[in-house]
Amino acid sequence: MNVLVVGKGGREHAIAWALEKSCLVKNIYAAPGNPGIESLGQCVPIDAEDINGLTKFAQDKNIDLVFVGPDGSLEAGVVDAIENIGIRAFGPTRAAAEIEWSKAFAKQMMLEDNIPTADFSVFTDVSKARNYVKERGAPIVIKVDGLAGGKGALVCNTLDEALHALEDIMTAKLYGKAGSKVVIEDFMRGEEASIFALTDGKNWVTLLPSQDHKAINEGDTGPNTGGMGAYAPAPIINEEMLAEIATRIIEPTITGMRKRGRIYRGVLYCGIMITADGPKVVEFNSRFGDPEAQVILPLLENDLMELALSVSEGKLCSKALSWKNKTATCVVMASQGYPGSYQKGKNISGLDFLNPMDDVFAFHADTALKDGQLITNGGRILGITALAEDLQSSISRAYHAVEYVKFDNQYFRRDIGAKGL
């Protein structure tokens, strides 16, 4: 079969890597892909949200399945467009993906369907939002309604911070259209985990629980990023907790979406806070997490293509998936300055040293090739993943591998996985 992976990050490299192992897959294409994916298939210069370009390419190359990675493509309606031309797509339609691209929609659904989450209110008027914040007090969480690259949730520890956040979002419009509406919600105390369910809209199966590290600095401090590292399985989610999340959150969400005529197919990402009152939803995302995909997919023993086909055809029958009896840790190597401003175009070397290492992977994110030389091309550059028999060993192996990778102005957190020990 021919498969087209849409996207260009570490997540999409991990997806392409897992698909390439399938005996069902003959050719892998990626739009637009990255130099890492290029070693597995062919990258084509089509933007991940270019509906016309993607549909035309899928038809021309007889693509059997389009695997959509990024949230922006789902919001743009790539799945709808691909399915409209009679080609299978992995991922929710635009209407179903609203669970991610509108935080207000997701919160309203949770309220109506009794899915546990923090109390909240939605505002389009800045003075009403200010009054609400003053009434509730700090700490408090302010979220832009739309997509913001993982940077749209602001945890405000003081009233002053919260009022500033409202000014930035609603008056200065620093988040553009995504911030034309805000969700203000109570701060939840606890530890956060990422739980993924593969679903065909009715049947579902959970993936290994993982934890990512969203903050830029060690000790989970500083501004949020797209994710600075991850590990799986996360011991904080034992079987009993996973069963509770499944009953109280996953099942009612999939049913709730179906009830609303928005059949949800693909991967449902539940960002869960483990609070003293049990698990509560922080947010839903409509795609694989990044970097979580970079630790989960290398541990998966099932054929990803087979699973993706059954999800897209509405025939998911797996009751449980098979996993390697190992732990995976991914350390994201970024450009100094990210998530603020940073320099690009730095030469990357040392990846060749990782090739002979068993169960060590360098997933490319923002890399590019210039005159045959691999260079940095953005904020998050590479995800270095290592598998080992336990968490401590996988952390040590990942950091050992990171030592080989050289580029100027590199930055990475040194405590990835430590919270799981």
Tokens at residue 385, please?
């993943």
> What span, in angstroms and rounded, lies between the C-alpha atoms of 294 and 81?
28
Q: Give the rounded distance of the alpha carbon of 109 from its chain centre.
A: 21
Of 222 and 350, which CB lies nearer to ligand GLY in the complex structure? Answer: 222
Tell me: does residue 290 bind ligand GLY (CB under 6 A). yes
Which DSSP category does 415 fall into?
Answer: -
Contact flag: residue 150 with ligand GLY (CB under 6 A): yes
**Residues facing residue 377 across a β-bridge:** none
Residue nearer to ligand GLY on the CB measure, 150 or 278? 150
Nearer to ligand GLY, 83 or 218 (CB): 218
Q: How far is CA 196 from the centre of its chain?
A: 10
Q: What is the DSSP secondary structure assignment for residue 406, as one 8-state letter?
A: B
**In angstroms, what is the minimal distance from the CB of 147 to ligand GLY?**
10
Closer CB to ligand GLY, 64 or 366, in the complex? 366
Count the residues of the shown chain that bind ligand GLY, applying the rule CB under 6 A: 7
Residue 379 contacts ligand GLY per CB under 6 A: no
Q: Which stretch binds ligand GLY (CB under 6 A): 136-144, 285-293, 297-305, 407-415?
A: 285-293
Closest separation between CB of residue 287 and ligand GLY, Å?
Answer: 8
Tell me whether residue 80 or residue 212 sits nearer to ligand GLY (CB atom): 212
Q: Which is nearer to ligand GLY, 129 or 381 (CB)?
A: 381
Give min distance, CB of 66 to ligand GLY, in A. 20
- Strand partners for 210: 194
Nearest one of 122, 127, 105, 98 to 181, comparing CA atoms: 122
Q: Is 185 in the site for ligand GLY (CB under 6 A)?
A: no
Helix (H, G, I), strand (E, B) or coil at 41: coil
CB of 133 to ligand GLY, least distance (A): 25
The CA R_g of the chain, rounded to the nearest whole Å, is 20
Nearest alpha carbon to residue 71 among 296, 269, 214: 269
Closest separation in Å from C-beta 346 to ligand GLY: 24
Regarding 339 and contact with ligand GLY (CB under 6 A), the answer is no
Query: Is residue 212 part of the contact set for ligand GLY (CB under 6 A)?
Result: yes
Nearest to 329 by CA among 287, 363, 283: 363
277 SS3 class: coil
Q: How, if at all, do strands 27-32 and 42-43 pair?
A: parallel
Q: Which is nearer to ligand GLY, 152 or 252 (CB)?
A: 152
Q: For residues 371, 372, 374 and 375, what is the CA-based torsion angle, rounded to 10 degrees?
A: 0
Compare residues 105 and 288 and give the one whose CB is closer to ligand GLY.
288
Query: Which three-class secondary structure string do you get for 341-366?
Result: CCCCCCECECHHHCCCCCCEEEEECC
CB of 283 to ligand GLY, least distance (A): 8
Return the residues of window 224-243 that contact ligand GLY according to CB under 6 A: 227
Identify which of residues 221 and 355 has a Cβ nearer to ligand GLY in the complex.
221
- Closest by alpha carbon to 184, among 226, 109, 115, 134? 134
Piece of the chain touching ligand GLY by CB under 6 A; list 113-121, 122-130, 282-290, 404-412: 282-290
Q: Which of 64, 145, 292, 366 binds ligand GLY (CB under 6 A)?
A: 292
- Residue 20 phi, psi dihedral angles, 5° rounding: -65, -25
Contacts to ligand GLY by CB under 6 A:
150, 212, 227, 285, 289-290, 292
